[in-house]
Chains A and B, each alone.
Chain A
Amino acid sequence: MLGTARKLRESGVLGLNERNSDFIMRLNPRRLYPRVDDKVLTKELALDAGMAVPELYGVIRNQGEAKEFSGIVEQRDSFVIKPAQGSGGDGILVVTGRSHRKRNTFRLASGTLISENEIKHHISNIVGGQYSLSGNPDKALIEYCVRFDPVFAEVSYQGVPDVRIIVYRGYPAMAMVRLPTRASDGKANLHQGAVGAGVDMSLGETLTGVLDNEIVDDHPDTGALIAGLRIPQWEFILQSAARGYDVTELGYLGVDMVIDRDLGPLILEMNARPGLNIQIANCTGLATRIALIDEIAKADAKPAERARVARREFPAERQTSINFD
């Protein structure tokens, strides 16, 4: 047991306790949390900084406003409903279209139909605080539903795959692509059964995947090989992630981005307590990279410069088990 702990320590694996006490508590002052916990605020801050985010159609702030839902989505066929203070992807409803026969019946990403009343109930649950971190009343966001770039089509089962980047003191430290599976119900969250794929920071290319803490080579539903996919506009993604730090001032930050077919990379949300599974997906410990960043970090470095440092310092060690030809 102690042997395993020592080996993990040697390979620089970050544990939950260490993450919480040494990084989150030290680098993420609580007063800054609303900037990432309230997705409405996050969106405003990102827009002010000129960053690309999915368009906000409307916000429902209390039970009484739930009836405005029909008006908000009247001109839209596809949209996403999410709690402003949700965590772990809970409470997100992805509507991809309307039923052909009844206009007030919607089609979810999973293909099932849902009535407007059921959606309104879901919205009041969100507003009531069922999904919020603290259990307090919340707001429901209705926003643009990302039409994701075909680059990950082969390795996704419904839902929206996204790119999660851990940004430490403004420097992108590690990244992974999260691929929805049948088990994850279209959600891109690893603990709900999505596949996480490590990313080569210098090239923006996927490595092997991880499913339920086990390393996998191909997607469990589509069977396609996960490794070797080139993420488009990687430089831009890294710079956006680096700018996430300037916007939020959180020293230990998770930035989630989606790649839209038409609009390119968009910042979906940011997280003050990003999970540690990313280490398994990358087969690399975070602590080593964090230590390196601590050595070279400069307070006045521009986002572009910090993105360049990440590309230079964190190329993946090639997996011998995978053949790239």
Chain B
Amino acid sequence: MKQQYVFGLSALLAIVGLSVFGYKWQTLGFPLSKNQQTPVWTIESSISFESGPGSIKANLLIPTLTPGFRMLNENSVSRGYGFSLNYGSGGRAAQWAIRRADGPQTIYYRISVYEDPGTDQSDTTPPFPPPPVINEPFRTAVDVIVADVKEHSADPASFTSELLRRMNDPSPDTNVELLISDADTRTEFVESITTILAAARIPARMVHGLELQGRQRNAEPIAWLEVHDGDRWRYFNPLTGEENLPERFFVWWRGNEPLVNVEGGSNVQVSFATQENHLDAVTIAETQAAQQGANLIDFSLYSLPIQTQAVYSVLLMIPIGALVMVVLRNMVGIDAFGTFMPVLIALAFRETKLFWGVVLFSMLVALGLSIRFLLERLRLLLVPRLSAVLIVVVILMLMISLISHQLGMETGLSVALFPMVIIAMTIERMSVVWEERGAADAMRAGLGSLVVAITAYVFMGLQWLEHLIFTFPELLLVVLALVVLAGRYTGYRLLELSRFKALAGR
């Protein structure tokens, strides 16, 4: 009965811990390993123009829905301008306004994004477009092309492919030739295609985006074709008819409207610059979680002040040390002084490093033990004697530090990091065991403590484990589940196998 409670409880703890862990890892994108970097793209668009005599109002279309990318942050840099964000028919627009400005002006809009293949920020299903109003003779040409292409296609996607094939034919038929005769730029070309698609009652629009690659001073927005097949938006290369998007294609704005519109300014120039940075994946995950309103993240350790974080990154490893302790004592059966003494010693080893830690610890205990034996002759009462041992330990630590400093070995200074009360208790316990059970027992338990401490140190020093526990503190519930399970382990301890060896096989 009780056994079932224990299993149930540890299963519950493990499930809670692991599901929070899974949510943070998979959904919020917290990284499993330390220093995991995510490329972050910063795209800066600068609008420069000559200011006129009157007030100036500048409108810039800015990214709204960006498939494949997620926004980290955005800001605008402009001196003296009032800034606002508006939602228009074509998506978001940034608006700057100023009553008076002199000379050439430059306004910046900057956005940072990172790749996230999981974000499919598609638009909602659009209504069927109204038949466009087209003048003759283009109207007849469009009608003929639409009727002809319809013959050779089955659905909006194949219609688009077929249409694009004809439009890009090196020797186009006369109707096509007529339509593209005055499409000089790529934008105008795509615009005429959307008109034909509208005539076929297929929702389509032009998308303008940037191909992000490394650092670019003057990135050119490219026009692309977006067609809705009744289900989702599909992307077509207007020049080849292939259905694809360029790699790392960042959609800036959609539709036929001009990117920028400056009232009261002249000689308007827009240029884009892109830059690739690498940012800690944790930062990105946190920003994202904050945007999504995941309250969980308010309790993240990364929100603590840096110094407190450093403390917790160490403290959170103590449960790992305790788990090692449980395994070594209850499953292996190693004898050690004090329940958690080895874990605390292991903590001190983190600062002193292993070799010097072991040397200093052994030195401290050996010296303390010999002085404890001298104290024994004074026949002090228990509490004063313990206090005397504690004071002796402090003095010894001081002397080791001073002597090693004189000898130029700075590592000796770190002896001060040992928990002195714990060491004093260890010395006391060890001397009692020494007297009662003999040197062999005392040494065995002393060595056992050291072995446990070293093992705990090794596990507590695993960088990936430290990062994992710090980023996902909920994993401590899993550690707790393991400890609870170990609490009901009734099998033999490893060392018992040799202890009872004589009884095996009888």
Contact = CB atoms under 8 A, between A and B. Distances in A.
A associates with B: yes
A108 to B, nearest CB: 14
A280 B503 contact: yes
A4 B501 CA distance: 8
B503 A191 contact: no
B504 A8 contact: yes
A5 interface: yes
B499 interface: yes
B501 A129 contact: no
A130 B506 contact: no
A16 B333 contact: yes
Interface stretch (B11-19, B179-187, B485-493): B485-493
B437 A191 contact: yes
Contacts of A129: 382
A283 B382 contact: no
A160 interface: no
Contacts of A251: none
A125 interface: yes
A128 interface: yes
A323 interface: no
The residue in B438, B500, B504 that gathers the most chain A C-beta atoms within 10 A of its C-beta is: B500
Contacts of A13: 492, 500, 503-504
A90 B487 CA distance: 28
B381 A128 contact: yes
Contact of B499 (A17, A88, A192, A213): A213
Given A21-B488, A129-B382, A11 B503 contact: yes
A218 B499 CA distance: 20
A121 interface: yes
Interface in B427-461: 432, 436-438, 441
Contact of A279 (B333, B432, B503, B505): B503
A217 B182 CA distance: 114
A220 B333 CA distance: 28
Interface in B266-314: none
A131 B432 CA distance: 9
Contacts of A283: 502-503, 506
B74 interface: no
A21 B487 CA distance: 8
Interface in A46-93: 63, 88, 90-91
Interface in B449-500: 487-494, 496-497, 499-500
A240 interface: no
B506 A22 contact: no
A192 B493 CA distance: 21
A106 to B, nearest CB: 16
A297 to B, nearest CB: 20
Contacts of A130: 382, 432
B330 interface: yes
Contacts of A262: none
Contact of B503 (A8, A18, A21, A121): A8
A318 B382 CA distance: 50
Contacts of A8: 492, 496-497, 500, 503-504
Contacts of A88: 436
A16 B496 contact: yes
A130 B383 CA distance: 9
A114 interface: no
Contacts of B333: 16
A137 to B, nearest CB: 9
A211 to B, nearest CB: 12
A285 interface: yes
A15 interface: yes
A4 B504 contact: yes
B491 A17 contact: yes
B11 to A, nearest CB: 19
A140 B57 CA distance: 96
A121 B379 contact: yes
A45 interface: no
A18 B491 contact: yes
A62 to B, nearest CB: 12
Nearest to B432: A130
B490 A214 contact: no
Interface string B372-398: 000000010111000000000000000
Given A13-B503, A63-B381, A5 B488 contact: no
A283 B503 CA distance: 6
Contacts of A91: 436
A215 interface: yes
Interface in B206-248: none
A118 B502 CA distance: 43
A128 B382 contact: yes
A124 B381 contact: yes
Contact of A17 (B438, B489, B503): B489
Nearest to A125: B382
Contacts of A279: 500, 503
The residue in B383, B441, B491 that gathers the most chain A C-beta atoms within 10 A of its C-beta is: B491
Given A5-B491, A21-B487, A280-B502, 12 more contacts: A16-B496, A17-B490, A18-B492, A88-B436, A90-B436, A91-B436, A128-B382, A192-B437, A215-B502, A280-B500, A283-B503, A285-B503
8 contacts: A4-B504, A5-B497, A22-B490, A91-B436, A125-B381, A128-B382, A213-B501, A215-B502
Interface of B: 330-331, 333, 379, 381-383, 432, 436-438, 441, 487-494, 496-497, 499-506
| Closest 4 pairs between A and B when the two form their complex, measured CB to CB | A128-B382, A18-B490, A121-B379, A7-B504
